[in-house]
Amino acid sequence: MATSIRIAASILAADFSRLGAEIEAVEQAGADLIHVDVMDGHFVPNITIGAPVVKALRPHAKKPFDVHLMISPVDPFLEDFADAGADGITVHPEAGPHIHRTLQVVRSLRKKPGVVLNPGTPVDRIDPVLDLVDLVLIMTVNPGFGGQTFIASQLKKIEATANRIAKTGREIALEVDGGINPQTAKQVIAAGANVLVAGTAVFKGGAKNYAANIAALRG
């Protein structure tokens, strides 16, 4: 069970003056994916990085780049992030007028499409697009910032999502994002999650701690 859990290190909590080195360190320490949070100060109340930075960072990693787009409108930027080296591109249904079309475009760019639900977004939003995605991401905080407190009410949504995924018979990753630490990791894994995004819990204490921090999340 524990071996099937993948850890996506969110570089939002890394030292932004040394992002390339941080990515190398966290990969060396056992991260399975590099989670990149793209924020525009409009869809969410914070601004991070854009496609040029993703492109500059991509050669520093061997592991897949899991790009979480918190920008609106999202459609005009899909190709930029694909070209920058994203492997997965995850989008919020609220970030554009046609989530189905957006996911089709991601697939046509030969990237793994993901759909992400905010804490206030009902689980049935995934039903019309489940056949299009390789990943469902359930937010366990409101998007915009690292270091927030896990919202336990989302555990039921994780379970409901796991049930929906099981019914498809397809391999769809179930990822969670926000407030993940060794304690909440246990809860989300029990609810059916198999990819855990973690920023604060991975990067705390500096590079000497990364391997132990990641191991602690696998349970």
Q: Does 175 bind Zn ion (CB under 5 A)?
A: no
Cis amide prior to 122 (ω within 30 degrees): no
> Least Å distance between CB 166 and ligand DX5?
25
Judge whether 37 counts as a catalytic residue. yes
Q: Does 134 bind Zn ion (CB under 5 A)?
A: no
Catalytic-labelled residue, pool 40, 66, 134, 177 = 177
56-64, 103-111, 146-154, 170-178 -> range binding Zn ion (CB under 5 A): 170-178
CB 192 within 8 A of CB 1: no
> Least Å distance between CB 79 and ligand DX5?
22
Q: Does 68 bind Zn ion (CB under 5 A)?
A: yes
Taking the least distance from each CB to ligand DX5, the nearer of 9 and 162 is 9
Q: Where are the beta strands (DSSP E) in the chain?
A: 6-10, 33-39, 65-70, 88-91, 112-117, 135-139, 173-177, 195-198
DSSP 151-196: -TTHHHHHHHHHHHHHHHTS--EEEEESS--HHHHHHHHHHT--EE
Using CB atoms, what's the residue nearest to Zn ion?
68
**How far, CA to CA in Å, does 218 sit from each of 31, 76, 106, 195, 212?**
11, 36, 30, 10, 10
Residue 31's identity, in one-letter code, is A
50-58, 68-76, 92-100, 168-176 -> range binding Zn ion (CB under 5 A): 68-76
- List of residues contacting ligand DX5 (CB under 6 A): 10, 12-13, 35, 37, 68, 141, 143-148, 177-180, 197-201
Taking the least distance from each CB to ligand DX5, the nearer of 85 and 179 is 179
35-43, 72-80, 148-156, 168-176 -> range binding Zn ion (CB under 5 A): 35-43
In a 3-state reduction of DSSP, which class is residue 136? strand
> Least Å distance between CB 111 and Zn ion?
16
- Cβ burial of 149 (10 Å; 0-12, 13-18, 19+) is exposed
**Count of residues that interact with Zn ion, criterion CB under 5 A:** 3
Judge whether 177 counts as a catalytic residue. yes
45-53, 81-89, 145-153, 174-182 -> range binding Zn ion (CB under 5 A): 174-182
- Cβ burial of 153 (10 Å; 0-12, 13-18, 19+) is exposed
Q: Which residues are catalytic?
A: 37, 177
Instruction: Return residues touching Zn ion (CB under 5 A).
Output: 37, 68, 177
